[in-house]
Amino acid sequence: MAAHALDSFLSQAAARCGAMPVATGAAIEPRYLEAARYGAGQAAALLRPASVAELAALLPLAARHGLRIVPQGAHTGLVRAGTPTDAQRDLLLATERLREVFELDLLDRTLRVSAGYRLSEINERLAPHGLMLPIDLSADPSVGGMLAHNTGGTRMLRFGDVRANTLGLTVVTAEGQVLRLGRGLQKDNAALPLQQLFIGSSGSLGVIAEATFKLARLPRQQAVALVAPNSLDAVLPLYQRLMDELGSLVSACEGISRAAFEAALSCGGERSRWFGGELPDYALLIELSSDLPADKLDLQALLQGWLEAEFGERVADAVLGADAACWALRHHISEGLRARGKVVGFDVSLPRRHFMAFREAGRAWLAEHFAPAELADFGHLGDGGMHFNLVWPKDAPLLDEAALRAGVYALVQRFEGSFSAEHGIGPQLQQSYWDLSAPELLDWSGRVQRLFDPAACLGLTVWGPPPR
């Protein structure tokens, strides 16, 4: 039955989208099935449409055949939302060939762009114009993937998340309707804001084909400092004074735990460059940036002056670095942790008022219940985001990951935080989503999903209550 449905689908898809590359079974290249951080998936077929018209033909056809479309961008996500799981039923829809549109408007500072473009390519093409799409990540996602999960990143503090930079979407529904939502204007309230529903929906309400983004000016200067606060208790007050005094210039404020710091050093080999002395319990990477040139406002001097006022005579010890190597250290953390054992990642966020308290409670809870785990958290203190990551040593006993996750998320809940800050929801977090969401939220989210996808043929995330 399923095989027959697939054959029928493929022959009708070929009739409507003749030029579209299709692969089935073992002919699907492994890179489409192997996720960034998890095990491989499986799919009945791989479809690679190149146009809105092909999407509009494929989606209703899949629904009619009882098959499921799993949209996949650059496959850099961390919640398995783009990794198909059903070898009979899943149609992996790679969006990488959706490249019909790249319309840059310099006066409006907007970019209309197809879902298949990747962040790096966009920013390479914008740089000569002094512009950028201000989403800053270690990964290189596609437009569609960033929208499906409403990506944040290290400079969200200044520029907002993907949602804040999106002025319009073109979406194809499960019925094959092409919805052009928003006109790409800065200010427009002439419709129900349906486009907002699709941002962060994990590709489950429709397939995003195009977006119009608001662009930002590339900074003309930046200043960086890696700082060791006097104590853990001093971290948040320091942050608060920074924001009060220099807030409009702060483009990143990242927190780095001692273990994360050490892991990064061990992999980058820069340790000797930083200190002879001891690593700090918690370090802050502060970045200022501005579109003013240094002859109008000298950011390096401003930051140095602020640090001197903060730390007084201690400043030489407190400032561990003040150049690009600080960011290199930050970006080495993940690699350094993986060298030490199995990394279990938690992408959570907390109200800033609970940020450090949660961290300490989490450390204590881990010590009690999962003693071999080494906490090596880092993240975006500025916006409350925390990668509460830990390393499970290679020689430790088998980890009960479900119990670990349940415990950490319960703690996040207790401190009024979110169990998914910037990675969105997918199969990886499905059970946690069910466990941690209010019944009325599940109820209404399920109603909305059924409205857009009554046949449950789009994506892997179930927004409603768990099936009985």
Q: Restricting to residues 276-315, which ones interact with a second copy according to CB under 8 A?
A: 290-292, 296-297, 302
Among residues 259 and 412, whose Cβ is nearest to a second copy? 412
Residue 462: C-alpha distances to residues 166, 171, 201, 267, 444 (Å): 25, 19, 10, 39, 12
Q: How far is CA 266 from CA 65, 243, 277, 378, 457, in A?
A: 53, 32, 15, 16, 46
Measured from the CB atom, is 156 or 457 closer to a second copy? 156
- Map residues 336-375 to x or -, x wherever contact with a second copy holds by CB under 8 A: -------------xxxxx----------------------
| H or E, element range at 456 | none
What 445-452 contacts at long range (C-beta under 8 Å, 24+ apart), as own/partner pairs, is 448/197, 448/205, 449/204, 449/205, 452/173, 452/174, 452/204, 452/205, 452/206
Position 210 contacts a second copy (CB under 8 A): no
**Cα diameter, the chain:** 77
Q: How far apart are CA 195 and CA 228, in angstroms?
A: 42
The partner residues of 217 in beta bridges, in order of sequence, read 131
Does 244 contact a second copy by CB under 8 A? Answer: yes
Of these, 7, 188, 317, 401, which contacts a second copy (CB under 8 A)? 188
245 near a second copy, rule: CB under 8 A = yes
Q: How many residues bind a second copy (CB under 8 A)?
A: 89
Establish if 421 lies at the interface with a second copy (CB under 8 A): yes
Q: DSSP string of 299-328? A: HHHHHHHHHHHHHGGGHHHHEEE-STHHHH
Residue in the block written with tokens 């929208």: 147
Q: Which of 183, 273, 314, 414 binds a second copy (CB under 8 A)?
A: 183
The residue among 16 and 129 lying less far from a second copy, judged by its C-beta, is: 129
Alpha helices in 127-255 (DSSP H): 143-149, 156-159, 194-198, 235-246
Is the Cβ of residue 393 or residue 454 nearer to a second copy in the bound state? 454
Residues between 96 and 155 with contacts to a second copy, criterion CB under 8 A: 105-110, 130, 149-150, 152
User: In which element (H, E) is residue 361 found?
Assistant: helix 355-369
Among 179, 234, 361, 456, binds a second copy (CB under 8 A): 179
In this complex, which beta carbon is closest to a second copy, that of residue 262 or of residue 432? 432
Q: What mask, x for binding a second copy by CB under 8 A, covers residues 320 to 339?
A: --------------------
Q: 324: how many CB neighbours lie within 10 A of its CB? A: 10
User: Which segment (88-96, 325-333, 357-365, 430-438) binds a second copy by CB under 8 A?
Assistant: 430-438
Using CB under 8 A as the binding rule, whether residue 185 contacts a second copy is answered as yes
Q: Which residue of 116, 144, 145, 200 would you call a contact of a second copy, by CB under 8 A? A: 200
With binding defined as CB under 8 A, does residue 160 bind a second copy?
yes
Q: Does 448 bind a second copy (CB under 8 A)?
A: yes
Within 7-26, the residues that bind a second copy by CB under 8 A are none
For the CB of residue 217, give the shortest distance to a second copy in the complex, in Å: 5
Alpha-carbon gap, residue 173 to 457, rounded angstroms: 11
Q: Does 455 bind a second copy (CB under 8 A)?
A: no
In terms of CB distance, is 79 or 227 closer to a second copy?
A: 79
* Pair of tokens at residue 438: 């209010």
Terminus-to-terminus CA distance in the chain, angstroms? 25
Query: Is 53 exposed, middle or buried, given 0-12, 13-18 or 19+ CB atoms closer than 10 A?
Result: middle
- CB 247, min distance to a second copy, A: 5
Pick from 84, 422, 427, 430 the residue near a second copy by CB under 8 A: 422
Provide, rounded to whole angstroms, the least separation between the CB of residue 73 and a second copy. Answer: 16
Question: Quick check: 299 and 246 in contact, CB under 8 A?
Answer: no
Residues 52-81 that bind a second copy (CB under 8 A): none
Least CB distance from residue 375 to a second copy, whole Å? 20
Q: Is 246 exposed, middle or buried (0-12, 13-18, 19+ CB in 10 A)?
A: middle
